[in-house]
Structure 1
Amino acid sequence: MNSMIGLHSDTAADRSVATSWEMGALHENEGRGCLLVLDERALDRECLASALLDHEIGMAIIAMRSIEEWHFKKRSASPLVAILFNLGGQKVTDNRVADEIKRISSEFNSVPVVILADTEDLAQIMAAVECGARGYIPTSVGIDVCVEAVNLAAAGGTFVPASSILSIRHLINPVTNPGSRDAQPLTDMFTLRQAEVAEALRRGKANKIIAYELNLRESTVKVHIRNIMRKLKATNRTEVAYKVNDLFAEGNLAEERNQ
């Protein structure tokens, strides 16, 4: 009885690895490259890969249990554009986990490594960034935000959850500090919330990311964007970004003249 159970378990594990590779191979011509999903747990990694594909992430996906498995089975896969490392309940501050993130980030220097984990603790996020990660996604977010965060990293950006860094927000986002030099051009024209949205637009962030970071509904973000466009007499998001940049430039010039 025990031997039959063991045989079934081994067969299922082999099948799950094959399925994860075939999933990526079937989609390797879609999108602009390949996302490598790393997770030691077969069910978790395959469910995550399937969900990302269902939400049209725009790239091929290969789900593997480790980097070693990737090296063994990569064959002629599409070039990697991002690596999503699902830690689950593991902590980045554990030496073994930290060393693995450093190793992967160093080996794939030009490929952004994004961490997916169960905690939003600031210490874990900072540790991940210090280890070389280019993003940190808590599992409390929805799949749409996860897709946007991965795409942001693939495009050269970095995603971290704002909810865990509110206490030091004034240090990393001058718009929230009314006395800062950069905040003045926006707060003169907009409400504080509109200024935060305008700053996010200036940085090229998608509505879903803005909504998550500012703890707003996406519909509310759209209302703020419409009001910002009206005040700036802009017709689209790109024009908003240009005009907000101009506001910063004008504010800095005025500050220099007054000194």
Structure 2
Amino acid sequence: MSGIMYERIPDADHAVYNRHAAARRAAFHIASTEPRPQRTLAIIDGRAIAREQLSRGLISNGLGLRMATYGSVEDIEAYEATAFSVILVCVDDSRFMDNSIVLEIGALVRRFPKVPVIVQAKLCGFQQILSVLQQGAHGYLPGNAGISVCIEAISMALAGGVFVAAKNLHDIQSILGTNHHQSKRLEMFTRREREVIEVLRQGKANKTIAYALRLAPNTVKVHVRNILKKVRATNRAEAIYKINAMFDEIA
């Protein structure tokens, strides 16, 4: 393997370290005072000094993985999937602006489907985090995350979990929970009723709806009557108001 490789060398200076941190890492079976050359962390960062500092910091703090550092995603694409145990990608925030990094993360996940990918970036808006997680990443770290947080994220990814900083997790859970609840509300309508609703929201008459959807006028009347019952509306205007509010929330 090309790239710069690091391994932890046990010595007296590292024989004693924070016992609480050690216990937490031991629970994931990856951090120890002994090197484990069979498991490799790939660090991808275009900043040479930053990636070398991070790799040395992880080693000195007891992460029992071999390190391999690279300047770009392209640098590791030629390797076999078995070459890495976990991949940490440090992202330039400007790349979120054109969505290129999101697509690149998705391609990296597909290239190494059994290797958890973690992303680190200063930009920690929920949209950026969600877009990366939706591509299959196993974690998202803030740019100022300390070594201990990095180790925790790596540990969780190797254990099959997904790591998100606590300050972002609540927002994401709220968004996901809200979207799930709202999608459930839409399930009260049949597929045909949702098609009728799309035209009904435009204030169209039943004949126009029937023409647009190629349905019989009497069929449209039945659908509209069922829709009014489901939203508990007494007339079309009230139904449209309630349906618009429901759809606007989901959008």
Amino acid at match of 2:48: A
1:118 partnered with 2:101: no
Count residues with an aligned counterpart. 153
Equivalent position to 1:144, from 137, 148, 153 = 148
Q: Distance between the aligned counterparts of 2:5 and 2:130, measured in 1? A: 35
Q: Which residue of 2 aligns with 1:182?
A: none
Percent sequence identity is 29
Q: Distance between the aligned counterparts of 1:24 and 1:93, measured in 2? A: 36
The answer as to whether partners of 1:87 and 1:117 remain within 8 angstroms in 2 is: yes
How much has 1:98 moved relative to structure 2?
1.3
Secondary structure in structure 2 of the residue aligned to 1:129? helix
Amino acid at match of 2:55: A
Q: Which residue of 1 aligns with 2:104?
A: 100
- After the TM superposition, which residues 1-259 of structure 1 pair with which residues of structure 2 at under 5 Å, given as runs? 21-23=4-6, 30=36, 33-71=39-77, 79-92=83-96, 94-167=98-171, 169=173
**Residues 25-49 of structure 1: per-residue CA shift (max 9 Å, x gap):** 9999526500000011111111111
Amino acid at match of 1:68: E
How much has 1:163 moved relative to structure 2?
0.9
CA separation of 1:143/1:90 partners in 2, compared to 1, >3 Å: closer, same or farther?
Answer: farther
TM-score (norm: length of structure 2):
0.53
Q: Distance between the aligned counterparts of 2:171 and 2:101, measured in 1? A: 26
Q: Which residue of 2 aligns with 1:252?
A: none
How much has 1:50 moved relative to structure 2?
1.1
Unaligned 5+ runs, structure 1: 1-17, 174-259
CA separation of 1:167/1:132 partners in 2, compared to 1, >3 Å: closer, same or farther?
Answer: closer
Q: Which residue of 2 aligns with 1:248?
A: none
**Residues 191-246 of structure 1: per-residue CA shift (max 9 Å, x gap):** xxxxxxxxxxxxxxxxxxxxxxxxxxxxxxxxxxxxxxxxxxxxxxxxxxxxxxxx
Unaligned 5+ runs, structure 2: 11-33, 178-251
TM-score (norm: length of structure 1):
0.51
The answer as to whether partners of 2:44 and 2:72 remain within 8 angstroms in 1 is: yes
CA separation of 1:143/1:71 partners in 2, compared to 1, >3 Å: closer, same or farther?
Answer: same
Q: Which residue of 2 aligns with 1:226?
A: none
**Residues 142-185 of structure 1: per-residue CA shift (max 9 Å, x gap):** 21011111111011110012212434545779xxxxxxxxxxxx
| Greater gyration radius | 2
Amino acid at match of 1:23: Y
The answer as to whether partners of 1:88 and 1:116 remain within 8 angstroms in 2 is: no
The answer as to whether partners of 2:126 and 2:171 remain within 8 angstroms in 1 is: no
